[in-house]
């Protein structure tokens, strides 16, 4: 059982409401505390106002501020940073992740197994 006091905080930055909703629901069902932002700018505002989460899941193509712009600003603004996992439908997801200097990547559409393996890799057992 998860102790609510030790819940890990995640930030999901994604402009597509369906994906954002299902990802949030799934991660919460796995015992994480999940904050959401609809674009990079909202994500940066959240980070300005809250403690650094344990992990950030980042979409790349978003209005207002995309994933590349977010990553650049994030790296400039914060010295103690959470790992970032890029979520992209691009054919070469790994290259997109490298461009954004992300720690990991998920190629859309991704399976629960793929999410779980990234969570395991960066956060260990929940």
| Contact footprint for Mg ion (CB under 5 A) | 15, 59, 61-62
Pick the closer one to Mg ion by CB: 14 or 82.
14
Q: Show the tokens assigned to 100.
A: 């954004």
Please give the residue whose beta carbon sits closest to Mg ion in the complex: 61
Pick the closer one to Mg ion by CB: 8 or 37.
37
> Whole-number minimum distance, CB 39 to Mg ion, in Å?
9
Pick the closer one to Mg ion by CB: 8 or 42.
42
Selection from 64, 122, 74, 118 nearest residue 94 by Cα: 118
Pick the closer one to Mg ion by CB: 7 or 61.
61
> Whole-number minimum distance, CB 12 to Mg ion, in Å?
12
């Amino acid at each position: 059982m998860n102790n609510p006091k030790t819940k890990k905080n995640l930030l999901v930055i994604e402009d597509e409401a369906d994906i954002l909703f299902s990802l949030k629901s799934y991660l919460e069902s796995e015992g994480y505390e999940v904050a959401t932002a609809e674009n990079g700018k909202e994500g940066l505002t959240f980070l300005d106002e809250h403690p650094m989460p344990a992990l950030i899941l980042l979409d790349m193509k978003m209005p207002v501020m995309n994933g590349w712009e977010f990553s650049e600003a994030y790296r400039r603004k914060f010295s103690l940073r959470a790992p970032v996992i890029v979520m992209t439908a691009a054919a070469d997801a790994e290259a997109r992740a490298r461009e954004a200097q992300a720690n990991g990547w998920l190629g859309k559409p991704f399976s629960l197994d793929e999410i779980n393996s990234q969570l395991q890799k960066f956060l260990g057992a929940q």
